[in-house]
Chain A
Amino acid sequence: MTVRSVAAVPLTAGLVATVLGLAGCGASGDEPASTLTVLAASSLTDVFDDLEGTYEAQHPDVDVQLSFDSSSTLAEQVVQGAPAGVLATADRATMRTVVEEGLGAEPVVFARNELVLVTPADNPGNIDRITDLDDSDVAYAVCVPEAPCGAASATLLARSGVTAPPVTEEDSVRDTLGKVVEGEVDAGLVFASDAQAAGGRVRAIPVPAADNVRTLDVAVVLDSPDTDVAQAWVDLLISRAGRRVLLDHGFLPAPAAAEKSP
């Protein structure tokens, strides 16, 4: 027997013990009985991270798994059959693609969000208003047009007469925000809640109000294993506690609380 294989024996034994230990852990008594997968627009990252604790305290038998990405990416995942209980999107149009496939229950509007222009804290490009982006020396980032933030940005830029193209189209609003936070671009268009999440690392500049507000929709995914568990998440989100968390994170209230979308 070589030295190496002698050394490998305790290593293998340790690995086996670890795996068995993990398996044993999973079989213990207070383990959640079911899992709720929540797919949410990346703007909702902080809100849903907060609500996860509240939900799991109310439903100790449920383990919540959160997945954040661009709304359009998540919607496509649901259409392709990803296991999910709840889908929350950053605009109505994206939710509609899922509902029209017969995969989503009646969506509920739970908040609104408005676009803002953000620059790195030291504002290297001297950006003060949206029209400052119309300069080929200014490097700015937007979301891909398929994402809610990108669709809203395209409308805003067209209305503001900005014709200089962005240097990049990022997949999700948090990717766009990241490019600004890292100082790789002079400016970016994100939602107000995202700007708030970045705190002092970015400077937020309001943009003209017309047509830059998007509603956030949430719906139970119909082929989820346990729609009651999923509905409980929606109920928490539109509850007083849920609304407070949303407001704390820079979202605007829904037009009328828990209004059903047409």
Chain B
Amino acid sequence: MSGRPAVALGAGTGAATGRVPWQLLVPAAFAVALLVLPLTGLLVRAPWSTLPARLTDPEVGQALRLSLLTATASMVVCLLLGVPLAWLLARASFPGRRVLRAMVTVPLVLPPVVGGVALLAAFGRTGVAGGWLDDTLGLRLPFTTLGVVVAQSFVAMPFLVLAVEGALRSADARYDDLAATFGASRWQTFCRVTLPLAAPGVLSGAVLAWARALGEFGATITFNGSYPGTTRTMPLAIYAARNTDFEAAILLSLVLLVVSVAILALLRERWMAGPVS
């Protein structure tokens, strides 16, 4: 150890000055290397000279269109079903609410491939509900674009529900009470008061769900297999390309990277600014 204390005590400014301790600097440098080097490799090995030609490859466009379509559809499903669920969890009181919340958040920590197996067990042809859906409605989910939306919604929904529930909890419930004293019904209160107050949370939850759906791989390939145009979204296309055309895999990865960074930029105001603004 060096003799001098590395940290000078600031007089309540909160900012420590002096030399940065190597015990923190070295691991931090490794962390940066671990996080940044792979992305640098992606950029270095990218086929820049053939990039424009490859970007116009119909298969790239097909996978990207399918990804944007399914991720957006999944986001809409999550909004339509998830916002009411979040309201129920945040504002209604009923027995088993805590159990329900725990169940809703399980897919958040579940490995997506487990989700895919579970979806097959439920909605596969021989699944608990799949056989019935096929017999009565003629509806088969596996191997279809609709099945992709189902798989993506399964993994993305908890992100939206938790974000919206958090926003509802931090919003002042007394506005709801006030609206009620003016004679508003609970539905009117939800539409006119609760939802507008929680709008930022709903928005960030929707973006999170969209991003999660866009990157979804494990549940999608397990539940739907992989076929160009119907189920092969961008992550599946990258996986399919990695063996035979590594440059194509890099190119597809770059496209997803650009989209992800754009999402991050969109959310910058919310999370990147840090706790102190």
Give the chain B neighbours of A179 by CB distance below 8 A: 225
Q: From known contacts A72-B243, A76-B243, infer whether A167 and B227 are also in contact, taking CB-CB under 8 Å.
A: yes
Q: Say whether B210 faces chain A, with CB atoms less than 8 Å apart.
A: no
Q: From known contacts A183-B125, A184-B120, infer whether A139 and B143 are also in contact, taking CB-CB under 8 Å.
A: yes
Which secondary structure characterizes the binding site on chain B?
Answer: loop
Contacting residues of chain A (166-187) with chain B, CB-CB under 8 angstroms: 166-171, 179, 182-185
Give the chain B neighbours of A75 by CB distance below 8 A: 243
Which secondary structure characterizes the binding site on chain A?
Answer: loop
The total of Cβ contacts below 8 Å across the A-B interface reads 49
Q: Say whether A146 faces chain B, with CB atoms less than 8 Å apart.
A: yes
Roughly how many angstroms separate A146 CA and B239 CA in the complex, as a whole number?
Answer: 12
Roughly how many angstroms separate A139 CA and B242 CA in the complex, as a whole number?
Answer: 26
Nearest chain A CB to B141 CB, angstrom units: 11
Contact A168 B124 (CB under 8 A): no
Q: Say whether B235 faces chain A, with CB atoms less than 8 Å apart.
A: no
Q: Say whether B189 faces chain A, with CB atoms less than 8 Å apart.
A: no
Give the chain A neighbours of B140 by CB distance below 8 A: 139
* Size band of the interface chain B makes with A: 10 to 19
Contact A73 B225 (CB under 8 A): no
Give the chain B neighbours of A184 by CB distance below 8 A: 120, 124-126, 142-143
Contact B244 A72 (CB under 8 A): yes
Q: Say whether B260 faces chain A, with CB atoms less than 8 Å apart.
A: no
Contact B244 A182 (CB under 8 A): no
Q: Say whether A165 faces chain B, with CB atoms less than 8 Å apart.
A: yes
Nearest chain A CB to B275 CB, angstrom units: 29
Q: From known contacts A72-B243, A139-B143, A168-B143, infer whether A183 and B126 are also in contact, taking CB-CB under 8 Å.
A: yes
Contacting residues of chain B (140-178) with chain A, CB-CB under 8 angstroms: 140, 142-143
Nearest chain B CB to A104 CB, angstrom units: 16
Supply 14 further A-B pairs (C-beta < 8 A) apart from A168-B224, A168-B226, A170-B226: A72-B244, A76-B242, A76-B243, A139-B143, A146-B243, A167-B143, A168-B143, A169-B227, A169-B240, A182-B124, A182-B126, A183-B125, A184-B142, A185-B143
Instruction: Please name 11 pairs of A and B residues whose Cβ atoms are closer than 8 Å in the assembled complex, sorted by A.
Output: A76-B242, A141-B225, A144-B226, A166-B227, A167-B230, A168-B143, A168-B225, A169-B226, A169-B240, A182-B120, A184-B126
List 10 A-B pairs, minimum CB-CB distance, nearest first.
A168-B225, A167-B143, A76-B243, A72-B243, A146-B244, A183-B126, A168-B227, A168-B143, A184-B125, A73-B243
B: which residues have CB within 8 A of A? 120, 124-126, 140, 142-143, 224-227, 230-231, 240, 242-244, 246
